[in-house]
Amino acid sequence: MKDFVSLKAKEIQPSATLSVNKKARQLQQQGIEVINLSVGEPDFDTPEEIKLAAEQSLKEGFTKYTDSSGILELREAICEKLYRENSLAYLPDEIVVSNGAKHSLFNLMMAILNPGDEVVIPAPYWVSYPEMVKLAGGQPVICARNERFTVELNHLRELITPKTKAFILNSPSNPTGVVYTKKELEDLAQLLLSREILCISDEIYEKIIFDGKAAISIASLSSEIKDRCIVVNGFSKTFSMTGWRLGYLAAPRDIAKAVANIQSQTTSNPVSFVQKAALVALKQNEKLYQPMVAEFARRRDYLIKNLPNQVIYPRPDGAFYFFLSLGKIPSEQLATRLLEKYQIAVVPGKDFGADHFIRISFATSLDNLEKACQRLQAAVADY
């Protein structure tokens, strides 16, 4: 039988986070009491105010194509947000709104990469980065971490070649929850500037941050680095809107224009009435996400107190993950055992470029976390 699948498609791994989630849901549907600590999505309903805005917009017939980069009103509101909260001055034609931050990132890779261009990704990384780079014809280059689980700059320096086009920064990080300090960002910015490398700053977990800390956008450090940055953000995490699919990027005008052209020829505009709902999200802002973030902080603190003493992890100051090591057990073997014997669904660290770790998400109830800690305790005693 003739093989019709492209070489490009064959190279791509399915998203591990989404696959484990699917498997856990299937087991739950069979009546097995699986504690699902796999997928990273807030377990809260989207705030009522946002839903009402979408409903209202539907009733008013806002159901047609919009400007393919997103309605001007929303791009203006995003500019205001970036200025107010991140000290970043952008104009609406430097913003492209897409169907989720994942889509923004993929459009971006298509817009900046020539065949063989290299993108440096520090491990552990979010599962989709290397695959997106490959799909766009680029070459992912994995960089080591330091003891803080931020990028090891000496290794980054060694990896840079004339083909290096971009570096991907994700702070707060998926899968570790680690937040880069200002000094770490300054040192990174200096290196990237000196070697003329773009910085893709994925700031999707920006608001999910604890202990009164704030995530700094690397683009806000100087106008020189801002000119080399593409800031990516979205509504999925902050406003618990994963299923609505809305994200955006802010970029120097030539890159934003290239992204806008790609989007106009592929998916066109993000969903019309979702854009109207996003306007309300940005307007009401903190009031909508603060209660959720406070609950995440409680759960993070609970896990710090109750995870088995034998497990080690970098302390998560943001996002809703722990990246745990239980010793030298290969992560896929461990994840399979945890699911089959203890009914806990976790994502193997291998998929994040760090075997010997597993990622757990605490976007689930305290009740579930309590049970998960008991089961992990039993699992650890078994090894």
* Residue numbers at the binding site for ligand GLU (CB under 6 A): 15, 17-18, 39-41, 102, 126-128, 174
Instruction: For the CB of residue 87, give the shortest distance to ligand PMP in the complex, in Å.
Output: 22
Residue 359 Cβ vs ligand GLU, minimum distance, rounded to whole Å: 8
Q: Which residue in 92, 100, 122, 177 binds ligand PMP (CB under 6 A)?
A: 100
Smallest gap, in angstroms, from Cβ of residue 257 to ligand GLU? 27
Burial, 340: exposed, middle or buried (Cβ in 10 Å; 0-12, 13-18, 19+)? exposed
Only one of the segments 100-108, 250-258, 329-337, 363-371 lies at the binding site for ligand PMP (rule: CB under 6 A); that segment is 100-108
Q: How far is the CB of 27 from ligand GLU (least distance, A)?
A: 18
177 contacts ligand PMP (rule: CB under 6 A): no
Binds 101: which of ligand PMP, ligand GLU, none (CB < 5-8 Å by kind): ligand PMP
**Closest separation in Å from C-beta 174 to ligand PMP:** 4
Give the residue among 275, 280, 287, 284 at the shortest CA–CA distance from 52. Answer: 280
Residues 277 and 244: beta-carbon distance below 8 Å: yes
Long-range own/partner contacts, residues 185-190 (CB < 8 A, 24 or more apart): 185/216, 185/218, 185/221, 186/221, 187/153, 188/151, 188/153, 188/156, 188/218, 189/218, 189/221, 189/222, 189/225
Q: List CB contacts of 139: < 8 A, sequence separation 6 or more.
A: 116, 117, 118, 119, 133, 163
Q: Does 180 bind ligand PMP (CB under 6 A)?
A: no
Asked if 40 touches ligand PMP (CB under 6 A), the answer is yes
Task: Evaluate whether 130 touches 113 at the Cβ level (below 8 Å).
Answer: no
Residue of 42, 138, 234, 314 interacting with ligand PMP (CB under 6 A): 234
Minimal distance, residue 358 CB to ligand GLU, in Å: 13
39 binds, among ligand PMP, ligand GLU, none (CB under 5 to 8 A by kind): ligand GLU
Among 141, 185, 200, 204, binds ligand PMP (CB under 6 A): 204
Q: d(Cα 381, Cα 310) in Å, to the nearest integer?
A: 9
* Residues counted in the chain: 383
- 25: closest CA among 41, 48, 12, 9? 41
Write out the residues near ligand PMP by the rule CB under 6 A.
40, 100-102, 126, 170, 174, 202, 204, 234, 236, 242, 247
